[in-house]
Structure 1
Amino acid sequence: MRVNGGLGEGMAIATLIAAGQLDDRLIDRVLGLLRELDPAAIFLRWIDEGDAADLRFAGKGRDARWTLEGLEGVDIVVQADEPRWKRLLVADMDSTIIGQECIDELADYAGLKDKVARITERAMQGELDFPGALRERVRLLAGLDERALKRCLDERVHLTSGAETLVQTMRAGGASCLLVSGGFLSFAEPVAKTVGFDRVRANRLVFAGGKLSGEVGDPIVDAVAKREALVEARAQLGLRKEDVLAIGDGANDKLMVEEAGLGIAFRAKPALVEVADAELRHHGLDALLWVQGVRRRDWFRR
């Protein structure tokens, strides 16, 4: 388990998020825990009163995370004091920006959802080689009509709470937003357009005669490719590691989450939680704006 790329001794911020439930009693409880690490730990400020607040302390971020984990209904992100605002967001799509695994839902149109979903779950847990598992699942869908993808997108795919608010607010603040997916461009491109991402990287399905051929185009977007996409975007923008926020849910997000200055596991598999800087379990993706110090009044609203 790491915290902010190995954040060691020095000043750090612990952001407490408990929307509608954060009160002085809860803050005092967390301060008491932090003061076991640093007797001079202080309440720094409300970001939004009753929802999110910052505490400041000196010490190891890793120790603070272990100390503060397990508070009911509270998400806690420990990070270096600066920079709070991130200039590049890199996000996984399936079970992160959207609430579904697209290939599982698509398989339902072929009557194979249970079989495909079992393979997906094992791949996300890190039990299977991702490229091999992807090719196996796509082969099972050979012959499925291309129109089923449009139906699946319209009928099954739903955005995760706060996804659009997070992306649009970051874009309005000058950040670049990259959607990376081990899924398919047929879903990722329309999702990216709807949410507001300005960059997208995903796998390409191969069609023959208006039906899925059972093949997926090379190169496969796997864990390594996700990290490479992050590094490439970061370099193009002239950013530092600490300027990057990455978020995902599965084992194939580990490398990009580790590569980011702040890596977040979102309702994630244990394999990703182990390497992430923090875990977001109780709130939507817009809570990552509080993590960056942005007050609700400044969030994007459609």
Structure 2
Amino acid sequence: MAIATLIAAGRLGDSLLGAAQERLGADAPIWRDGADAARFDVADAASARAALQGWEGVDVIALDNPPERYDLFIADMDSTMIGQECIDELGDMAGVGARVADITERAMRGELDFNGALRERVALLEGLPEEAIARCIEERIRPNAGAERLLATLKAQGVRTVLVSGGFTAFADVIGGRLGFDRVVANVLEIDDGRLTGKVVGEIVNADTKLAVLKEEGAKRAIAIGDGANDLKMVSAARLGIAFRAKPVLAEAAHARLDHHDLDALLWGLGIPRTDWVG
């Protein structure tokens, strides 16, 4: 059995619903949340995704034999739970924003070795005052729309939440705390005498680390979400892997994509109606 969830917030009328049924070759939806989302029994997830993927303004979450409940939500931070790349923002504050952002983009597309790209970008931050981090968080860093509601609802459903980032604990600890994550894993920036040294302390949190954290949590029914190449292994290994407005390398490999809707739209994909959302 496979379940396909069609998400078209606010505009899922009879016409759109009928067109979806025709594309899917499906009977009437087994579940519908007003004009926002509907779930269908389908033959298999891959065919359902192929039938609906790319439909303007519509997101599709389809999975073969989905569990009734999930026990873990593991998420990337930069450009996923928040709308920014923290290292790019620090680079801008250090006067090297364009150089850092270019390396970030190439690394997230899978064109560069992540470890080397991170070290290169952090080196460009050498000498930046430590206080710039707190200022950056308060002035520039904002959660993506729906992040708070998604986390609050998942936690109310008994799902454990883990934030695992190739960014830095100086950001992730604050953001993870504000959003309510149960655990945070990220890189540690080296600071000496109140200034960044341009180095990272210890081993780098990369794609292998993210996969290791997923396995370490021991969850059998995990949801993983990310946006770039560094999330590929984690997203591929999860029971439900979501690409959020992602680079092509991840979008092509994930079980499902959220290209058009906010983060909390994932709740429809889990069969949770808006009346049960928290916040």
Q: What band does the TM-score fall into relative to the shorter chain?
A: over 0.9
Long gaps (5+) in structure 1: 1-10, 36-40
Matched, 1:19 2:9: yes
Alignment correspondent of 1:90: 74
Contact 2:30 2:41 in 1 (8 A): no
Distance in structure 2 (CA, Å) of the matches to 1:22 and 1:84: 24
Gaps of 5+ in 2: none
Report the Cα distance in structure 2 between the residues aligned to 1:204 and 1:248, rounded to whole angstroms.
20
Structure 2 CA distance for aligned equivalents of residues 43 and 208 of structure 1: 63
Q: Is the Cα–Cα contact under 8 Å of residues 86 and 141 in structure 2 kept in the other structure? A: yes
Which of 214, 223, 233 is matched with 1:230 structurally? 214
2:30 partner SS: strand
Give the structure 1 partner of residue 127 of structure 2: 143
Task: Give SS of 1:178's match.
Answer: strand
Query: Match for residue 28 of structure 2?
Result: 43
Q: Distance in 1 between matches of 2:73 and 2:42?
A: 26
Partner residue in 2 for 1:33? 23
- Preserved CA contact (<8 Å) 1:47 1:294: no
Matched to 1:158, the amino acid is R
Q: Residue 46 of structure 1: CA displacement?
A: 3.8
Determine the C-alpha separation between the residues in 1 that align with 2:161 and 2:15: 37
Corresponding pairs, count = 279
Aligned to 1:4: none
Distance apart, 1:81 and its partner CA = 4.2
The 5 Å alignment of 1:1-302 reads 11-35=1-25, 41-58=26-43, 60-233=44-217, 235=218, 239-240=219-220, 243-301=221-279
- Distance in 2 between the 1:169 and 1:106 partners? 32
Distance 1:245 1:180 in 2: 13
Partners of 1:108 and 1:84 lie apart in 2 by 45
The structure 1 segments of at least 4 consecutive aligned residues displaced by more than 3 Å after TM superposition are none
Assess if the C-alpha contact under 8 Å between 2:187 and 2:200 holds in 1: yes
RMSD, matched Cα: 1.0
What is the distance in 1 between the residues matched to 2:19 and 2:64? Answer: 22
Contact 2:225 2:235 in 1 (8 A): yes
Secondary structure at the residue paired with 1:213? Answer: strand
Distance across 2 between alignment mates of 1:124 and 1:254: 10
What do the CA deviations read for 1:116-152 (whole angstroms, capped 9, x no partner)? Answer: 0000000000000000000000001000000000000
Write the deviation string for residues 75-98 of structure 1: whole angstroms up to 9, x where unpaired: 011113431431100000000000
Q: Distance in 1 between matches of 2:140 and 2:125?
A: 17
Counterpart residue identity of residue 101, structure 2: A
Provide the C-alpha distance between the structure 1 equivalents of 2:240 and 2:23, rounded to a whole number of angstroms: 23
Q: Report the Cα distance in structure 2 between the residues aligned to 1:61 and 1:52, rounded to whole angstroms.
A: 17
Matched residue type, 2:8: A
Amino acid at match of 1:180: V
Do the aligned residues in 1 keep the contact of 2:228 with 2:250 (CA within 8 Å)? yes
Relative to the length of structure 1, the TM-score reads: 0.90
